[in-house]
Amino acid sequence: MPVSCGSKCGRNAFMRRPKTGDVLCKECFFLAFETEIHNTIQQEQLFRPGEKVAIAASGGKDSTVLAHVMNVLNKRYNYGLDLVLLSIDEGITGYRDDSLKTVAQNRDDYGMPLRVLSYQELYGWTMDRIVAEIGRTNNCTFCGVFRRQALDRGARLMEVDCVATGHNADDIAETVIMNILRGDTARLRRCCDIKTGSKAADTIPRVKPLKYSYEKEIVMYAHFKKLVYFSTECVFAPNAYRGHARAFLKDLEKVRPSAIMDIIHAGEQLQIKGTVKKPVRGVCGRCGFVSSQQPCKACVLLEGLNRGLPKLGIGKKSKGERMVALQEQQMREKAHMVKNDF
C-alpha cells in the first residue's frame, strides 16, 4: 500500500531521507534539501548582496549540485550574487580532462562564466608528472596542497569576494576523523568552520554551503534532478589516506545514521587548551599566499620537485632541510672536482 508524503502534500511518498528518516515525495524532498541549504546560508551569513562568488567546480556531484542549487536560490530568494565557476586542471589524464567537459556543460546550463587554471600553467608541473616522480604513496599531498593554493590564485585573478566549495557533511566528518588520528590540533577545529579566511586578513574567504548536507542526499538530488555530473573516481585516489576514514565513517553510519552530524557537532564544540601551541596564519614570503609556515607548503613541495628532491616537503621540516643541505654539499663537491680537473 502506498505511503503518503510526510509533509501532508497529498502525494505518495517516494523516498526516505537518509539524514532525517522523513518519508517524502520527490518534489518535497527537492524543496526540503534546497531550503536547508538556504537556511544554512542565511543563519551563517555566508554572502552579502552584490558579492561576486566563485563556485569551485570540478564536475563531480558535489560541485554540480552546489552550482545548480546556488543558481536556484540566488533567483528564488534574490541574493543578488554574481556567480562564476572556477575550475582547476591538475593534469590527470583520463580523469580531469573528462570532468572539465562536465564543467563546461554546467557553464552553458547556468550561464555562469568559467575560468580554468592548470597546474602546468601555475607550477610548471602536472599531476601525471608528479606521480611519475614521487610514486603513488604521497601524491595526494601534492595535489591537495597545490589545489588549495590554485583556488586562491584563481579567486584573486577573477577578483571574487569569496569562493564556495562543495564540501559536504561526509567530507567534514571524514576530515575530523583524519585530524584526530593524526593528532593535528591546528586543523581539527578549523576543519569544522563553515567560513574560513577574511578580507581583513588579506585572504579571500571560502564558504561551505553544503556543510550539513549528506552525501547520499546530494547523490539523490543530482540523480532525480537529472543533473549532468562526472562520477569517475580519481585514478590516484585508491591509495589516499582519506579512503580509510571514509570506510570507517560508512561503517559507523550503518550502526548510527546520525554519526556524521554527531562528529561534526563534536568538532564544532572542541576547545584546544591554551597551553597548546597553535600555528599563526600569515602570508608566505615567497608566493604571497596564505600560509601558517615560512615558506608555505606549496612552495616547499614545488622547490623539491624543481630540485629533483620530490620528497623534500614530505615529513618533518628538519628532514627536508637535511636533504637540501646534503644536495648542496654534493653539488659543491662535484664543482670542486670539476675545478681540479682543470
Residues 6 or more apart in contact with residue 140 via CB below 8 angstroms: 236, 237, 239, 240, 241, 242
CA distance 156 to 171: 25
Per-residue H/E/C for 239-290: HCHHHHHHHHHHHHHHHCCCHHHHHHHHHHHCCCCCCCCCCCCEECCCCCCE
pLDDT of residue 11: 92
Binding-site residue set: 56-58, 62, 88, 166, 171
Considering only CA atoms, which of 262, 52, 324, 270 is closest in space to residue 164? 52
pLDDT of residue 318: 47
Residues 6 or more apart in contact with residue 198 via CB below 8 angstroms: 205
* Alpha-carbon separation of residue 296 from 44, 53, 137, 156, 291 (angstroms): 30, 26, 21, 18, 5
Q: What is the DSSP letter of 234?
A: P
Its pTM stands at 0.88
Domains present along the chain, CATH in parentheses: 50-272 (3.40.50.620), 279-341 (no CATH)
Contact in structure between 107 and 113 (CB atoms under 8 Å): yes
What does the angle CA 324 – CA 305 – CA 317 come to, to the nearest 5 degrees?
A: 45
pLDDT of residue 231: 84
pLDDT in tens, 98-141: 899 999 999 999 999 999 999 999 999 999 999 999 888 888 88
**Low-confidence residues of the chain: pLDDT under 70:** 198-202, 238-239, 315-342
Query: What three-state secondary structure class fits 15?
Result: strand
Query: Hey, what's the torsion of the CAs at 122, 128, 134, 137, to 10 degrees?
Result: 110
pLDDT in tens, 276-319: 777 777 888 899 888 888 899 999 999 999 988 888 877 655 45
pLDDT of residue 273: 74
As given in the structure block, the three cell numbers for residue 27 are 518534489
Binding-site residue set for ATP: 56-58, 62, 88, 166, 171
Contact in structure between 29 and 39 (CB atoms under 8 Å): no
pLDDT of residue 94: 85
* Alpha-carbon separation of residue 56 from 32, 207, 318 (angstroms): 24, 10, 34
CA distance 207 to 219: 21
